[in-house]
Amino acid sequence: MGSSWLEILEDPLTRKLLGHDAVMAEKVPFVSGVNSRLKFLLQDPLKHLSFAKIGYTALEAFLQANCTGPPLDFDSIAVIVPEAYHDEIPKLKEEMRKSLSVDGIDVYPLTPRIELFWLAKCMMDNATLAEEGFNGRRARFRVNFWHQKLLSEPSDTLRDLLYHDSDVLDTQMSSRLIHGGAAAQEHMIEFFVERANVRIYYGDDVHAREDLLRAANLREFAFAITGALGKRTKFQEKDTSQLVVMAKSRDDEPESYSSGKSGQAEQRSRQSSVAEKDSRNPPSTTSGSPNAHTSQVYSGVGAVSSHDQATQPENVPLNDDTLFENTQFRSRSSQLADRATEVVTEQSQLPVALASMDLTDQPQLFPMDSIILLGIASSITNTQASDGLTREETLPYASRVLEGGSSNWSVYSQALLVRSRIEGYKSRTTERGLLQLQALVDQVIAETTGDSVTARTDGEADSNEANAPNTFLPKASGDESASVAERLRFVHQIHPPFKWELEAELAARWTQMGGLKTALEIYERLQMHAEVALCLAATDREAESISLLKKLLFVEPDQKMQDGDTVSLNKPFPSEAPRLLCILGDIQNEPKYYNFAWTVSDSRYARAQRSLGKFYLKKRDMEAAMRAFSAALKITRQDMATWFSLGCVQLEMEDYRGAVESFTRVVQLEDRDAQGWSNLAVALLRLPAPIPGPATEKLEPDASGLERIEENTPTNDQQKTEADVDPLQHTREALRALRRAAQLKRDDARIWDNYLTVAASIPPDAEHPERGTPWQEVLHATSQVIKLRHKKEGESCIDLKILEALVDYVTGIWDYPTADEAGTTTDTDSKPAAESTQGTNAAAESLSDQQQARNANGGDVDKSESAPTAPRTPFLVRALTTLIDNQITPLATSSPQLFLLLSRVALWRHRPAESLSLLEKSWRATTNTLSPQPKDLVGATATLVNSYRTLGPMERERTGGPVEKGWKFKSRSAIRSVMGKAKGVWDDKEEYRTLEGLMEGLKSEAAE
């Protein structure tokens, strides 16, 4: 078999597989014929490696034509399709596209060179080849992810295949890593990076970063994001702290290994660098400018000449009158000068390799290390791209790759793309981000449209030329363009976008900037009809959008479709007809189009049912909404948003067990969804309490097609006794769910309020305190609720019942230590008040024993037996007093109950004067209430008089002397005030007689 792509695709074995030399009595379908011949030819194990090579060749030729360029130098249709089928090439291409449809989702209808990908898919997805060692499975893993990127929406079928293969590959490669050498390590690193890309695509960002860090550890790649003094604007006089990524590659790269993963590209790369194999260490310093010419630039596959350094895509300058092109960090010399007076508080956490690095002159990174940094940046912005803090954290990763330069064309291109995406959200940089994206389209995408040789048999070449984009920059000449080997070397690790995806991204950016005309031109040229319709609808041109969609879909566009009517679709109808019908339904708010989309897709297009479910949810038709969401989940079982919607519907229908299952799926798919955790807690609280009984049998699959979560199932088949059943099981589970929700969304007062309510609802348990009320959580949640709500709600944000229960618990269990007791109490833990006296006695005995030992030893005592230091106050006591002093007392203004509670706490803290003052405020708050009830007035007055009698003669804290000398006078004044308000209103009631009794009592005390 030959070495070039064309030689491999024209090899006798390839021609035999494709049927070029077949003598057929009757013409057989091409696609099914290739599959049949492949199955027959694979019976010879000696040919398996050759077929794997054919698959990789077809895939990389397809990627060159659609991702990286330069143009292919052969006609792929003439090579793959036998001449006997050239009269039906459009039909064959449509058949190939249909064979690549998954879960009702079709590939982009104008995908160029689709025959190459179809052939690669046939080879690499074949079970016989894929099950032969890690190479075959890795090939299937790669082709399936490229297949996923060809689809317009994520596919659950492909996701399951990718995750299954990745788990097997992880096991296989880990085993090889133990016994293998440098090649096994490089394979493992590449796999980690590729799996991270898959996880980023499906939104699994946390695990993606774990893979990237594992790859960095294997490569001994040291990097850290930290702060450093620098300037971002030209008018800045003082240096301020700036985020920066410090990174340093290992000293050298192992010799490039041989594998079939990159086929001919790997061979060409080695041939181009064979003369420079002995000088692979990166230079110790590099210029900060990415376009700086150096004598040698090094990559993981060997060195490339300084000439290749100039083949990087254009880095568009910022040209801003305020911002620097790059952040200007302080030079190392000035940092060292300041360090002489710097107070070092702790040891630096930077890796040793980075501790002495000069930020103004960081070394160039190896390409794989740059890919890891770009992967981390993409994983951060994947779900929170519009968040300002997220962008500030992300930009330094892309800047580090660009400022240090890169020895690989594709890596540098990806870095420019990542930076342009981040800069699109900031007014100062959005113009450069747009121009940079346009430059990438010009330099990367435009040159792939003018293939050297195009298939003229179906008119595709003429169409390509007509649809070729206009470029603002001239196309690079052959000697200025990067080689094929350099472009494809890391294509599976970078996963660059397809050229139509990049152009669509440019159109979306133009839409954000207000350039709707330019965006429409791009969408129309790409024949992305759905995007055209959405763009028209977004600009208040809904009539045009509806007309366009109906012309694309229906034979009679002007026909008004009524329920039960039969309409005819155009033949052949667009491959994306289900999506177009859903968009038409969205614009016209008509559910019939969703049903039609579901029918057209043979019940495989999940979005149709999702849209139908949302429509019925707005109409409050919960039964229909639940059926629609359940039908969608049979197709896309990993769709978190649909599980969430189904759970909300089940809560409305009071199907709490089903809601628990749905929200459990939500938090399994996205552990950081605070709303999912909160709703799970709500559903758990509504479940009936567990009861003793037989073990629950495994339930049948529910409407979504997934097994229900087993509850109340013991570890054995025995009967549950009452002792085995926790009636608060669901409450405790709800508390755990709310605890997680509060951790994720610390600024959501509603979640904290629910957390507080559920924690306080668990009753105390004297026998098992750990199973009783979690008072620490109650206190913490109370603090958070007050912190989040006090500005708007004032003292009404305090739950008095829960606060009173907390105060009752703390004051009933512990005695607040006096100033004298603080130095003698040995109870460092939280002991009950009843035990405090025993603790004090034990301390006294201990001190007495130590004094005797000191006297016996001549005044010396062993350090291990030295007198104990003053213990800390129990945590709950300290936390409660801090809460009272700092958060609750400043809010108390008009609530009598709150003042009474604060008075109790003050008295418990041995502060009688403060306690009496708070009681007076409570009484005044009661008397100033609009239309107070006689019972409340008399009760508050009686409480105040009794408190005067008890606290007035006591010694005042801090200053000494009685708390209130004139307590008798104040008591009589308070009673007279209330009696004056009662005159003529309720002086004939029993409450008035109570006041008279209080006054008589005071008079008798005065007479004595």
Query: Tell me, what's the pLDDT at 429?
Result: 81
> Is residue 409 within 8 Å of residue 482, measured between CB atoms?
yes
Least confident of 376-385, 648-657, 821-830: 821-830
Coil, helix or strand for 297? strand
> Is residue 753 within 8 Å of residue 742, measured between CB atoms?
no
Query: Tell me, what's the pLDDT at 575?
Result: 79
Whether the predicted pLDDT of 52 surpasses 70: yes
- Phi/psi region, residue 714 (left: phi>0; alpha: psi -120 to 50; beta: rest), is beta
Among 405, 431, 401, CA closest to 244: 401
Q: How confident is the model at residue 568 (pLDDT cuts 50, 70, 90)?
A: confident
Residues present in the chain in total: 1008
Is pLDDT larger for residue 856 or for residue 878?
878
> Is residue 895 within 8 Å of residue 870, measured between CB atoms?
no
> Is residue 571, in this structure, part of any structural domain at all?
no
What does the pLDDT average to over 488-492? 94
pLDDT tens digit sequence for 642-694: 999 999 999 999 999 999 999 999 999 888 899 999 999 999 999 998 876 55
pLDDT tens digit sequence for 34-48: 999 999 999 999 999
| Residue where the block lists tokens 């479940």 | 687
Whether the predicted pLDDT of 327 surpasses 60: no
Burial 779-816 (b: 16+ CB within 10 A, else e): bbbbbbbbebbbeeeebebbbeebbebbbebbbebbbb
* Percentage of the chain exceeding pLDDT 70: 74
Number of other CB atoms surrounding residue 68 within 10 Å: 26
Whether the predicted pLDDT of 791 surpasses 90: yes
> Is residue 953, in this structure, part of any structural domain at all?
yes
Query: Tell me, what's the pLDDT at 405?
Result: 74
> Is residue 707, in this structure, part of any structural domain at all?
no
Please tell me which of 668-682, 834-848, 959-973 the model is most confident about, judged by mean pLDDT.
668-682
> Is residue 530 within 8 Å of residue 545, measured between CB atoms?
no
**What is the spatial distance between Cα 198 and Cα 453, in angstroms, rounded to a whole number?**
34
Total domains, the chain: 2
- According to DSSP H, which parts of 73-181 are helical? 76-80, 89-99, 114-124, 127-130, 133-150, 156-179
pLDDT tens digit sequence for 447-481: 666 544 444 444 444 444 445 556 655 665 555 56
**What is the spatial distance between Cα 195 and Cα 212, in angstroms, rounded to a whole number?**
9
> Is residue 452, in this structure, part of any structural domain at all?
no
Among 476, 500, 488, CA closest to 5: 488
Query: Tell me, what's the pLDDT at 476?
Result: 57
Least confident of 172-181, 709-718, 729-738: 709-718
**554 pairs with which residues across the strands?**
569
Query: Tell me, what's the pLDDT at 941?
Result: 93
Least confident of 381-385, 666-670, 676-680, 982-986: 381-385
> Is residue 834 within 8 Å of residue 810, measured between CB atoms?
no
Whether the predicted pLDDT of 305 surpasses 50: no
* Domain's final residue, options 155, 182, 211: 211
- DSSP structure string for 779-847: HHHHHHHHHHHHHHHGGGGS-HHHHHHHHHHHHHH-PPP-TTGGGT----S---GGGHHHHHHHHHHHH
> Is residue 10, in this structure, part of any structural domain at all?
yes
Sign of CA dihedral 483, 484, 485, 489: positive
Look up residue 508 and give its amino acid.
Answer: A
**What is the spatial distance between Cα 967 and Cα 487, in angstroms, rounded to a whole number?**
92
> Is residue 65 within 8 Å of residue 2, measured between CB atoms?
no
* Domain's final residue, options 163, 183, 211: 211
Output the domain CATH number for residue 901.
1.25.40
Average pLDDT, rounded, for the chain: 80
pLDDT tens digit sequence for 412-455: 999 999 999 888 877 778 888 898 899 888 877 666 665 444 44
For the chain, the first-to-last Cα distance in angstroms comes to 122
> Is residue 580, in this structure, part of any structural domain at all?
no
* Parent domain of 54: 5-211
Is pLDDT larger for residue 92 or for residue 329?
92
Among 901, 1005, 991, 877, CA closest to 952: 1005
Is pLDDT larger for residue 279 or for residue 209?
209
Is pLDDT larger for residue 753 or for residue 105?
753
pLDDT tens digit sequence for 891-911: 999 999 999 999 999 999 999
pLDDT tens digit sequence for 93-122: 999 999 999 988 889 989 999 999 999 999
> Is residue 954 within 8 Å of residue 963, measured between CB atoms?
yes
Query: Tell me, what's the pLDDT at 848?
Result: 39
Look up residue 513 and give its amino acid.
Answer: M
Strand (E) or helix (H) holding 696 = none
- DSSP structure string for 902-918: HHHHHHHTT-HHHHHHH
> Is residue 139, in this structure, part of any structural domain at all?
yes
> Is residue 917, in this structure, part of any structural domain at all?
yes
Residues 6+ apart with CB under 8 A from 506: 434, 437, 438, 441, 522
* Domain's final residue, options 211, 236, 270: 211
